[in-house]
Chain A
Amino acid sequence: MSYTRQSAGRFARGPAGGAYAPPAVERLSAERPAPNRIRRRARSPQWAALAFLAPSVVYLVAFYAYPMYRNLDLSLRDYTVYSFVHGGAPFAGLSNYASIIDDPSFNSTLIHTLVFTAVSLVFQFAIGLALAVFFAQNFRLSAFLRALFLVPWLLPLIVSASTWSWMLDTNYGIVNAALHAVGIGPVDWLTSPTWSLPSVIIANIWIGVPFNLVLLYSGLQGIPRDLYEAASLDGAGPWQRFRRVSWPLLRPVSAITLLLGLVYTLKVFDIIWIMTRGGPANSSATFATWSYELGFGNLLPEFGLGAAVGNLLVIMALIAGLVYIRARRRLLVS
């Protein structure tokens, strides 16, 4: 036991350099005879552990740490097209961030991002939970119907977003045709500044429901049946059973569903870009579309500003992640 603990501690310290490692080995060898055998034993699991660790470290560094570092670097320099290609962009501190925050569209874009995320999450979660509870009682065709609800998730986003933009077309769209049938005049879903954001939110809710449904449904399956039986024996009705049994026991699953949903929704880009391009006149622009537009959507790319907006998104997701970890820790302690 004590050996494994030592080696576990040392393997974790290992990459920091030799400073910590030698004393431990020396202590071991001083205390006991036959140093060769023990040294080999103490060292080989360490190397093996490092070797096992190496692929994931290399992967994390190459595909997460380095791009993050580059994006941060990009956002802190004043890039012109020339310096982007040939290097030598001067360090600009936080001036990219300052000009993003000073930008007249910053406030509205921030509000759009928050509204888009919050409204999408609330409806996706509520509808997903309702459907999950509904499908938890097994009835005929429930598996088939549940599979049908997964369709939005399986369709490529370009297909669903294009379909939504056709359906919401002012003149030829089926939504306005249906409204017309019940006597409501045409709504400019995608071309009026008041309706463009609700339109992309509606499409995003539709796309996000299956994800919530699947996670919450499997969470419900994990709740032992006998709890419900005990509750009904105690006289709890369906609502009481949901409120007192399902809801509290589903809390960990709900928390991770909401967190993942938040991260996915914050960075939603394709749906908005395909349906409205963030327009008209930025009325449905979020940080994700703004960042893309700055970096890639114009004739003249502004990589520094685009990276700054992208980093703001990362920070927002990070804060949500920290809130989740804290809430989860409190949940475990209680």
Chain B
Amino acid sequence: MESNSTPPPSRRRATHRGIAALSVAAIVFGAGMTACSSSPSSSAPAAGASSSGSPSSAAVGTYTVWDPYPQFTQGSSWTALLSRCGSEAGVTVKRTAFDTTALTSKVLLAAQQGAAPDVLIVDNPVVSTLAEAGVLTDTTENHINVSSVEPNLLGAGEYDGNAYGIPIGANTLALYYNKNIVKAAGVDPATITDWSSLTAALAKVKAIGKVGITFSAIGTEEGSFQFEPWFWGAGANLTDLNSSAADAALALWTSWLKAGYATNSVINDTQTTSWQEFAAGNTAFSENGTWQLGNAQKAGFPYGIMPIPAEHGGAAPVPTGGEFITVPVQSDTSRYATSEKIVSCLSAAGNAYMTDNTLSYVAASAAVQAKQVTTEPALGVWVQAVHAGKARTGDNLGTNYPKISQQLWTAVQAALSGSASPQAALASAQSAAASATNGK
């Protein structure tokens, strides 16, 4: 025992030296690898199109597409459209689907390694960030034709005056309501025009033992997205989170939770789980998006849709959601021509019509919107909402939007969970946002 634990001095010294030697070797080896990997952008062009190791150009004729639609599995009409667009451009499309929250960092890491996909479909508030990172090509380079797109939708994909992609479609928020519950509570939806009439309606719903409203106040971009109609509807601006208008909007949500018009599970609800609670048939109103339309028809109760009211009447400005089709920067610029063909195919009127119907989105061009409304009149409300929609990265926020949004959802969470008053939560959010955006 003793001799095992304490080796003779000479051997022990040798072992120590051995460890030192190994760690030196480790450091040298590590440094060598860094030298290889730290400058992909400078070494990649030399490697050329045919022999470069990056997956995007590993096999000529294979083009990679990344999208945030994991719900569409192999064999869905979306993957069928992708392969059809690939074969029309004369190449094979290799598609990978990511969760939308993971996509940004995945793309940044891939771009760092010189392995960005040829075509990237990405949530619109991220486009300006990726453009700033130098990951995306603008339309002067990739030659995507964006002339048919509605300007307020295209705005979300602009950075420094250049357009960086084409919207695949748009979605936004409105209030779904359960006609049975609203009727039983004696509420006439037509009378709901502002916050006070909405709150009064929620009180009537609670009086008959039902839940008033569901929304999503989760601590992610979804939470900010859902809060913005109320925030903007009060007249607040994202550049000043600490305004009295912002306070009014957050106080409205907080008062609903305190009064029991909404359950506090909204704090952890995503838009999907919030919808599931509405679909369970016990809730009168649900703030939710265009994409739930298909589910609403399956819900098993009659439903209606109304625009989200602003504080003092009228429809509140709603944030536009939806993804952009973009073309990331490649070391081999000759690939853009084929990528452009794939993008044009995906956004061509007939295909966009089909894709937007599958996603339950409003199309990005007026012509396709008109076609959607003639076949599905229920979409009329949504088309109007999209016209009144506002880009989240608008107001010259650009790449500052994600930083501000993070503080906004943190403030919403703090106020709804009762850990701070709405006013205190917004005040600390504003100071945190100001320091985060001044730094860069």
Contacts and interface: CB of A to CB of B under 8 A. Distances in A.
A84 B21 CA distance: 32
Contacts of B419: 193, 280-281, 283
A80 B440 contact: yes
A275 B367 CA distance: 44
B419 to A, nearest CB: 4
Contacts of B132: 80-82
A66 interface: yes
Interface string A2-15: 00010011011111
Given A13-B21, A297-B101, A297-B220, A279 B405 contact: no
A279 B413 contact: yes
B111 interface: yes
A245 B123 CA distance: 63
Contacts of B41: 86-87
Interface in A278-324: 278-283, 295-301
B21 A299 contact: no
Given A14-B21, A61-B30, A171-B265, A193 B417 contact: yes
A279 B269 CA distance: 12
Contact of A280 (B39, B401, B413): B413
A235 interface: no
A85 interface: yes
Nearest to A65: B26
Given A82-B132, A277-B220, A298-B402, A13 B18 contact: yes
Interface string A56-73: 011011100110011001
Interface stretch (A111-119, A140-148, A184-192, A253-261): A184-192
Contact of A171 (B133, B134, B263): B263
B370 interface: no
Contacts of A278: 219
Interface string B100-123: 011011001001100000000001
Nearest to B106: A296
A16 B38 contact: no
B112 A85 contact: yes
A300 B135 contact: no
Contacts of A299: 104, 123, 125-126, 129, 221, 401-402, 405-406
Contacts of A277: 218-220, 268
A284 B190 CA distance: 42
B20 A16 contact: yes
Interface in A135-171: 165, 169-171
Contacts of A14: 21
A82 B133 contact: yes
Interface of A is mostly: helix
A134 B419 CA distance: 43
A276 interface: yes
Interface residues of A, number: 54
A104 B25 CA distance: 41
B312 interface: no
Interface stretch (B9-17, B88-96, B179-187, B380-388): B9-17
B216 interface: no
A79 to B, nearest CB: 10
Given A60-B26, A86-B134, A280 B18 contact: no
Nearest to A17: B21
A131 B134 CA distance: 57
B253 to A, nearest CB: 13
A329 to B, nearest CB: 8
A333 B24 CA distance: 31
Contacts of B133: 80-82, 84-85
B108 A281 contact: no
Nearest to A70: B34
B26 A280 contact: no
Contacts of B126: 299
Interface in B400-440: 401-403, 405-406, 410, 413-414, 416-420, 425, 428, 432, 440
A191 B123 CA distance: 28
B105 A301 contact: yes
Contacts of A60: 26
Contacts of B105: 295-296, 301
Contacts of A296: 101-102, 105
Contact of A85 (B134, B218, B219): B134
A16 B17 contact: yes
B5 interface: yes
Given A16-B17, A277-B218, A280-B267, A66 B417 contact: no
Contacts of A170: 263-265
Nearest to A20: B17
B46 interface: no
Contacts of A58: 29
A311 B88 CA distance: 49
B17 A87 contact: no
Interface in B262-319: 263-265, 267-268
A279 B267 contact: yes
Contacts of A61: 25-26, 29-30
27 contacts: A8-B14, A9-B14, A12-B14, A20-B17, A57-B25, A66-B33, A69-B27, A80-B132, A80-B440, A82-B133, A84-B108, A85-B111, A104-B432, A169-B265, A170-B264, A171-B265, A190-B267, A193-B418, A193-B419, A277-B220, A278-B219, A283-B417, A296-B105, A299-B104, A299-B125, A300-B403, A333-B5
Given A61-B26, A281-B419, A299-B125, 13 more contacts: A8-B11, A57-B25, A65-B30, A80-B440, A81-B129, A82-B134, A84-B133, A104-B428, A191-B268, A279-B219, A300-B129, A301-B108, A332-B5
Interface of A: 5, 8-9, 11-16, 20, 57-58, 60-62, 65-66, 69-70, 73, 80-82, 84-87, 104, 165, 169-171, 188, 190-193, 276-283, 295-301, 332-333
Interface of B: 5, 10-11, 14-15, 17-18, 20-27, 29-30, 33-34, 38-39, 41, 101-102, 104-105, 108, 111-112, 123, 125-126, 129-130, 132-135, 218-221, 263-265, 267-268, 399, 401-403, 405-406, 410, 413-414, 416-420, 425, 428, 432, 440
Top 10 closest pairs, chain A to chain B, by CB: A12-B18, A299-B402, A280-B417, A81-B133, A281-B414, A16-B21, A300-B402, A9-B14, A193-B419, A191-B267
